[in-house]
Amino acid sequence: MVDLDLEKFFDRVNHDILMSRVARKIRDKRVLGLIGRYLKAGIMAEGLVKLRSEGTPQGGPLSPLLSNILLDELDKELEQRGHRFCRYADDANIYVCTRRSGERVMKSVTRFLEKRLKLRVNCEKSAVDRPWGRTFLGYSMSWHHKPRLKVAGESVKRFKDKLRSIVRQNRSSNLKRLAQEQLAPLLRGWINYFQLTQTRGVIEQLGQWLRRQRRCSQWRQWKRAFTRARHLMRLGLKEQQAWRSATNGRGPWWNAGAAHMNLAMPKKHFDALGLVSLLDQLHQLQRTSRTAVYGTVRTVV
């Protein structure tokens, strides 16, 4: 597989080449003039306005459309060569059979981009590798004979860091309020994006890790052994087990993964508080997706 990444694409788009491609699609000169003024709009740098000679405005609603118009030429070139590929904005994956083929395609496509479209390939982020060795839009592939789509390890790590930061900032806050107001929108949005994953083990582990984080925070909030024992008994543990657990001398993270905290605060405890279960949410999304597809097929038949 050839993983291509264009270096500072939105900052280095050549205006003349871009406008020539746009002119092939649009005949109205007034619209072309408006797009030209949009591209040349000044940028604020160190308190001064500088004229833009290349690139498109970052975050502008028109920039993604213009980038697709420009890179449509790359798509057509790859189709003409008979390559299988996937492109999103300035990231593209081209699928080939061997490493030698990948290196040859990398060189020829790089040459095409630099000479035809005046774009530069980021050599540090681009590579020829196995699909499971690369990340594309947060996804990766499993190494099986029939590869399956999965959440990339980097995506999981970034998400964990974000969740860890939120949990640390709200250690003393009410668990129910935190789960419903801050964690729920974040968890639903993340799993909605990664609902195409075909490997559920990572999602299940992430859900277990998050519940352990919350048990760890709860253990820290209880502070004293007497308080811990009292709360553990209130959550259903017998007095002897509660006192033995509360006085074990272990740290918060160890206790958060121990049997007594799993018994006192099982998954259904967090479900009742409104903490979104990533695995349950994934099952629901995939079930809804299958129902929609099969329903459409039946309607067509």
Residue-wise pLDDT tens for the chain (301 aa)? 889 888 888 888 888 888 888 898 888 889 989 888 888 876 666 666 666 777 887 777 788 888 888 899 999 999 999 999 999 888 899 999 899 999 999 999 999 999 998 888 888 888 999 888 889 999 998 888 888 899 999 999 999 999 988 888 876 677 788 888 889 999 999 999 999 999 889 999 999 999 999 899 899 989 899 999 999 999 999 999 999 999 999 999 999 999 999 999 999 999 998 899 999 999 998 888 777 655 544 444 4
Q: Mean pLDDT across the chain, nearest whole number?
A: 87
What is the radius of gyration, based on Cα positions, of the chain? Answer: 26
Amino acid (one-letter) located at 10: F
Give the whole-angstrom CA distance, residue 109 versus residue 291. Answer: 41
What's the pTM value of the predicted model, to 2 decimals?
0.78
Which tokens go with 299?
A: 């309607």
CB count, 10 Å around CB of 289?
12
> Which residue in 128, 171, 131, 168 sits closest to 148, CA to CA?
131
CB 66 within 8 A of CB 90: no
Which tokens go with 133?
A: 């060795």
